[in-house]
Amino acid sequence: MADIGNFALILGLVLAAFTGIIAVVGARTGRGELILTAENGALATVSMVTLAVGSLVYLLVTGDLTINYVAGHINKDLPMFYKVSSLWAGQEGSLLFWNWVLSVYIFIFVLLYRKKSNPLTPYVIFILMATTFFFFCLHLFVANPFDRLVVAFADGTMNPWSPQDGKGLNPLLQHPAMVFHPPMLYTGYIGFAIPFAFAIAALATNRLGAEWIRLSRRWTIIAWFFLGTGIILGGKWAYVELGWGGYWAWDPVENASLMPWLIGTAFLHSVMVQEKRGMLKIWNISMIIGTYILCILGTFLTRSGVVSSVHAFAQSNIGVYFLTFIGFLLIVSLGLLYLRLDDLKSENSFDVFSSRESSFLFNNLLLLGSCLAVLWGTTFPIISEWVTGEKITVGQPFFNKINVPIGLALLILTGVGPVLAWRKTSTESLKRNFLLPVLLGLIAVGISFGMGTRHVYALISIGSCVFVFVTIVQEFLKGAIARASSTGENILKAVVNLTRKNKRRYGGYIVHFGIVLIFVGFTGKAFESEAHIELGEGEEFTVKNYTLKLTKLEQGQTPNYFFDKAFLSVWKDGKNIENVVPERRQYIASEQPTTEVEIHETLLEDIYLVFNSRNEDESKAEIQIYINPLVSFVWVGALVMVLGTFVAMFPDLGEEKFKQRAREKAEKLILERV
C-alpha cells in the first residue's frame, strides 16, 4: 500500500500542475473544451489524494510498522478509534489530511459549477490546483507519510526494518474531542481557500462587483463555521484534558486558529456593506486575502516548530517552504490588488456615524485590531529570538489587557449594529430601539454591584450582555408582531416563519445570542477560586459550600497504561451530589504521563478536580480544586452559534421558491425547443 500511496502522490502532483495550466489557458483563449478538461483534471487530482489517504489509513489500521509514520504514531494495543485518528496526529499524516480536505472542497466546487459557464470558475480551479500542487510537493520532498524504516550497515547497504511495537499515539490526543477537533479546524482553515480563490479570480478578470461575494458567501460561512467549531472543541479538549482548570491560555497555536476566525468574521460583516451600498471593495478583497494568509500562517506556526506549544508538531525544516508559499501568495494577491485599485473605488461614502455601515466598519476595525494584537503577541517571541538571540515570551496578561476591552466593545456593537438603519438612523429611532436595552443593562449592573461584584470588566460584561440580549429580543418581537397582525399567526409561529423568510438576518441574530451566552461564560472568570490540598483516605476538605472526602486510593494497569486513581465523594450543603475519580496515567508505549481530570458540571458552576501526585510516603493524594462559575454557558453559547450559522447558511423560503420557479421555467423552455 505504501507504493500505491507514493504512486498516487506522484501522479497527483503531475495532474495538479497540468490542470492548473489548462484552466488558465482555457480561460484566456475562451475554449470551453479546455475548461472542461481542467474540471476533469481537478476531479482526477482529487481521486489521487483520496487514494493516498486511503493507503495511509489502511497502513495505520493494519499496523504496518515498516512505515516510519505508522511506527511513530500507533502501537498494537491502541484502540482502533485512535488508530484512524492517527492520520492527523503527526506532521506527515496531517499534511496529507490537509490536502485531502482541500480536495473534498475542490470536488464539491467542480460538481456545483461545471455546467454554469462562469468566467471565474477556471481561475478558481487554477488557484486551488496551485495550492494542492504545493502540498503534493511537501508530501513528496519534505514530509512523505510513506517513508519506510531502514537499518544502515557498515558497508553502506540498507535493509527494511520494523520495531516490535510502535511508539503509540500521544496520550494527550487519546481523547474523543481530539478525534473531531483537528478535522473541524482543518475544514475551517482550508475552506477559506474557496472565497480567496474567488477574490483572486475577480481581480484577474476585473469582475469586481458583488458577484464574487455572492458566489463565495456560503463557502465563507461554512469555513467560518467549521473554524469556530474547531476552536470551541479545542477549548473543550483543553478544559477536560490538560488539567490546568481553563479552556483558553493564549497559546500560540490557539492564537493561530483565532486570527483567521477574527478576520473572517470581519469579512462576513463588511461584505454586507458592499452588497448594499457598493462600498469597502478594497477592504473586502484585503480581508479575504488576509484571512487565507493567516490560515496558511497558522499551519506554518503549528508545523515549523518555531513556537512552543502543547499543540505544535516537532521542530522541522518545513517552515521555509511555508514561508515561501506565503510570500508567493502575498506577491500575487497584492500585486493584482494594486493593479485594480482604480476599479475598486467605492460607489458611495459614509454619511453619518449613526448608520449600519459605520457600525460594521467599527466592528471591522476592532476585529482587525484584536487580530493584529494577537499576531504581534504570538510572533514577538520568534522576532525577538531572530533579532537578539533571546526568546522573550509574551504571556496571558498582554493578550487579556488588549483583547478584553476590545471584546467588550465588540459585544456592545453586536447589539447596536443590526438595529441601525442604512445611511442614517433618526434620533427618534435611536431612542425607540435603545432606551429599554440601555435601561435594563444599567439595572443589571446596579444589581450586580449591590450583590458585591466589584470587578470592572465583569460589571461591563453583565450590562452589555443584558443590553444585547434585549435588543435581539426586541428585533424578533418587532418583526413577529408585525407579521402576526397581518397574517393572523400566533407569535411563536410568526417568529418561525419570519426567520424562514429572512434566514440571513435572523440567523445572524441567533449567532449574536450565542455570543452573548459565551460572554456570560467568560464573565465567570472574574469569580473563580481554587485550592491545593493533601488528603489521606477518610479525610475531608471544605471549599466554599463544597466538602470533598477521599474514600480510596487505587493503582493498576491496563494494556495501554498504568493508572493511579483517587476516589472522592463531593458533598454540597451536607448532601452527597457526586462521586468522582480523577486519575494519573503513565502510558506504556510512549512512556508519557497524563492527568485525567474529573469535573462536576452544573449550569452555574463547575467543580474541577485534578489528581496531581502522591506525597512522599504515597499515603496521601495531592488534589488541585478549581471552582469555575458559568463555564457551561461557553459550551451552550457555542451550540446556539452553530444553530444560528445553520439558519443563516441556507436560502430564504422566498429564495428557494424563486429558484424552483426559475428551474421550472428553464425546463419548459428546453422542452419547447425540443
Query: Which cell is 10 given?
Result: 506522484
Does any domain span residue 393?
no
Query: Which cell is 603 given?
Result: 449550569
pTM for the full predicted model: 0.89
434 and 465, same structural domain? yes
Residue 309 has a pLDDT of: 55
* Cβ proximity of 564 and 594 under 8 Å: no
CA distances, 470 to each of 465, 502, 607 (Å): 9, 20, 31
Does any domain span residue 239?
yes
Tell me the backbone φ, ψ of residue 552, rounded to 5 degrees: -165, 150
For the chain (length 674 residues), average pLDDT per consecutive 10? 92 96 92 91 96 94 89 84 86 92 95 86 95 95 89 68 81 78 90 95 90 90 93 90 88 90 93 85 93 91 65 63 92 94 82 81 93 91 80 85 94 88 81 90 94 92 95 90 85 87 88 95 92 88 88 88 91 88 86 87 92 85 92 95 88 53 45 42
The domain boundary, picked from 141, 174, 207, lies at: 174
Does any domain span residue 399?
no
Does any domain span residue 232?
yes
250 and 204, same structural domain? yes
366 and 332, same structural domain? yes
Does any domain span residue 384?
no
138 and 18, same structural domain? yes
Query: Which cell is 470 given?
Result: 434585549
* Cβ proximity of 489 and 483 under 8 Å: yes
State the DSSP code for 147. P
543 and 599, same structural domain? yes
139 and 21, same structural domain? yes
Cα dihedral 355, 357, 362, 363, rounded to 10, equals 120
The domain boundary, picked from 142, 174, 206, lies at: 174
Does any domain span residue 659?
yes
* Cβ proximity of 313 and 92 under 8 Å: no
The CATH number linked to 94 is: 1.20.120
* Cβ proximity of 292 and 264 under 8 Å: no
144 and 8, same structural domain? yes
292 and 182, same structural domain? yes
Separation CA 16–CA 45 (nearest Å)? 6
Q: Which helix (H) or strand (E) holds 503?
A: helix 503-523
Residue 610: strand pairing partners = 624
341 and 225, same structural domain? yes
How many structural domains compose the chain? 4
* Full residue range of the structural domain in which residue 422 is found: 404-523+636-664
Query: Which cell is 609 given?
Result: 478536580
* Cβ proximity of 571 and 561 under 8 Å: no
Cell 526494518 -> residue: 161
Residue 154 has a pLDDT of: 64
The domain boundary, picked from 133, 157, 174, lies at: 174
242 and 370, same structural domain? yes
SS3 of 601, please?
A: strand
Does any domain span residue 569?
yes
Q: Where are the alpha helices (DSSP H) in 114-146?
A: 121-141
Does any domain span residue 390?
no
280 and 197, same structural domain? yes
331 and 215, same structural domain? yes
